[in-house]
Amino acid sequence: MRAPELDPESIKVLRIIAARGMIRGGELLKEAGIPSPEKLLEIIKPLLNNQLVMTSGIAETDDILSVRFYVAPSSSSYIKMTYL
């Protein structure tokens, strides 16, 4: 099985989440320099769909700033070897 191809913005977000362990959407938005919650949602959706990132809630535009994102412990090594 091949690893999903990710664009540079998604890899940047994935790096931040992996380094922090768990991070709220608002903090992620600020740390990654993403201009809007809509753009964060656009970047995070492929990570969620490919199960590279997990969430503590539903990642939708209205709630994305308070949702927590994290890398599942079982995926941590795979993500570090493949993307970081």
- CATH code where residue 43 lies: 1.10.10.10
The residues with which 22 forms a beta bridge, in sequence order, are 70
Helix (H), strand (E), coil (C) string for the chain: CCCCCCCHHHHHHHHHHHHHCEEEHHHHHHHHCCCCHHHHHHHHHHHHHCCCCEECCCCCCCCCCCCEEECCCCCHHHHHHHHC
SS3 14: helix
- Span 19-30, mean pLDDT? 93
41 band by pLDDT with thresholds 50, 70 and 90:
very high
pLDDT for residue 1 is more than 60: no
Residue 62 included in any domain: yes
Residue 80 belongs to some domain of the structure: no
14-34: average pLDDT:
93
